[in-house]
Amino acid sequence: MTNSFILYPTPPFRLDYTVWALRRRDKNIVDRWDGKSYTRLFMIDNTLIKVMLEQKTFLDDPQIHVTTNKKISNKIQTHLTSQLEIMLGLKTDLKKFYAMAKKKSPLNSLANQFMGLKPPRFPSVFEALVNAISCQQISLDAGLQIQNRLVQYINLSLNDKGLLYAFPRPADIANCTVANLKKIGYSRNKSHTLIQLASKLVEDESIFNNIEEQSNKEIIDFLCQFKGIGRWSAEYVLLRGLGKIDTFPGDDVGAQKNLQQLLHLNNKLDYKKISKITQKWYPYAGLIYFHLLLYKLKQKGMF
């Protein structure tokens, strides 16, 4: 039993950059960053566990110190280690990405500026889908604000030096009504989509078990079978839920603007144009998406 352990990411690694790419906005109440440490509440075996990560050594020899609010078993430590390695891309080797970026001037300065950024993932496809649905057809700020209200409504919380929230489980959302979700701020259609999706997962927890083994097109076709899930949401899940870093969500308006700015283009980009541009960066288009996000956040003075 222990309440602390160390993770050893594949270098180079920056916890701050990676966490910002995961959380996207400072209003995110699930993924917390205080300028020094990353804190998240996990539900494991029906127990809420506060997990805090802090980077002690940087870039070429990174070490991440992990502490929990209670002593945990070896089994839970192994589970958490695996979960955190996936969420923060800790074992992703990006040597080939940096070699490619070095040869392409628009990317080289971007890669150097955010050296150590790893591709983050939500801990489950379900969480990725809920995030996608929350932010469909509205601004990211508005979507996260509504999702925060969902998180607070479900209220898987722990007061430990401040109130922390865990992300809702499928059963939590399946037990909501359309009226409940509409009061929070979701549209009727989004409310139906969230409840139906959550209910399907409650009925069959294995729905997404082997999805990573499929091709990107097969995954998109599969996800789009769910009412309320379109191409943007499916590609969002490919990147943020399944770690398919060859995917650049081309319908993402913010990403379109970020890419247009990077390349100093006068005309707006559409899905077809973005696909053509990002093909040259295969298989790292999604990683560039994250770099562009950080660049925009940096411009806004968020970190």
Q: Report the pLDDT value the prediction gives residue 120, as an integer from 0 to 100.
A: 98
Structure tokens at 121: 């993932």
Whether 84 and 136 map to the same domain: the answer is no
Region 107-128: mean pLDDT is 97
Of 207, 240, 273, the residue at which a domain comes to its end is: 240
Q: Are residues 21 and 34 in the same domain?
A: yes
CATH value at residue 55: 3.30.310.20
Are 16 and 38 in a shared domain? yes
CB contact at 8 A, 249 and 289: yes
The reply to whether 248 and 108 lie within a common domain is yes
* Nearest Cα residue to 68 out of 90, 42, 89, 87: 42
pLDDT score for 161: 86
pLDDT mean over 243-248: 97
In a domain, 295, yes or no: yes
With 90 as the cut, is the pLDDT of residue 215 above it? yes
Residues 236, 269 within the same domain: no
Residue 179 lies in a domain: yes
- pTM for the whole structure: 0.96
109/160 same-domain check: no
Do both 85 and 100 map to the same domain?
no
Determine what percent of the chain is predicted with pLDDT higher than 90: 94
Which CATH number fits the domain that encloses residue 277? Answer: 1.10.1670
Q: Give the pLDDT band (50/70/90) at residue 138.
A: very high
Nearest to 57 by CA among 91, 22, 118, 14: 14
Per-residue pLDDT, 214: 96
Annotate the chain with DSSP letters as a single string.
-EEEEEE-PPSS--HHHHHHHHH-STT-SSSEE-SSEEEEEEEETTEEEEEEEEEEE-TTS-EEEEEEEEEE-HHHHHHHHHHHHHHTTTT---HHHHHHHHTSHHHHHHHHHTTT------SSHHHHHHHHHHHTTS-HHHHHHHHHHHHHHHT-EEESSSEEEPPPPHHHHHT--HHHHHHHT--HHHHHHHHHHHHHHHH-TTTTTTGGGS-HHHHHHHHTTSTT--HHHHHHHHHHTT--TT---TT-HHHHHHHHHHTT-SSPP-HHHHHHHHGGGTT-HHHHHHHHHHHHHHHTT--
Can you tell me which residue has the tokens 């009925």?
203
CA 274 to CA 248: how far, in whole Å? 8
Is 118 domain-assigned? no
Write the pLDDT tens digit of every residue in 120-131. Answer: 999 999 999 999
Residue 104 has pLDDT above 90, yes or no: no
Q: Is 264 exposed, middle or buried (0-12, 13-18, 19+ CB in 10 A)?
A: exposed
163-165 vs 37-44, strand pairing mode: unpaired
Measured CA to CA in angstroms, residue 167 lies from 8, 106, 157, 196 at distances of 26, 37, 9, 18
- pLDDT of 58 > 90? The answer is no
CATH code, 147: 1.10.340.30
Residue 303 has pLDDT above 90, yes or no: no
Q: Is residue 169 part of a domain?
A: yes
Q: What band does 1 get if pLDDT is binned at 50, 70 and 90? A: confident
Query: Would you say how long the chain is, in residues?
Result: 303
Predicted pLDDT of residue 73: 95
In-domain check, residue 119: no
In a domain, 106, yes or no: yes
Q: What is the mean pLDDT of the chain?
A: 96
Residue 155 lies in a domain: yes
Range of the domain at 263: 96-113+244-303
Does 236 share its domain with 280? no
pLDDT for 158 equals 96
Number of domains the chain is built from? 3
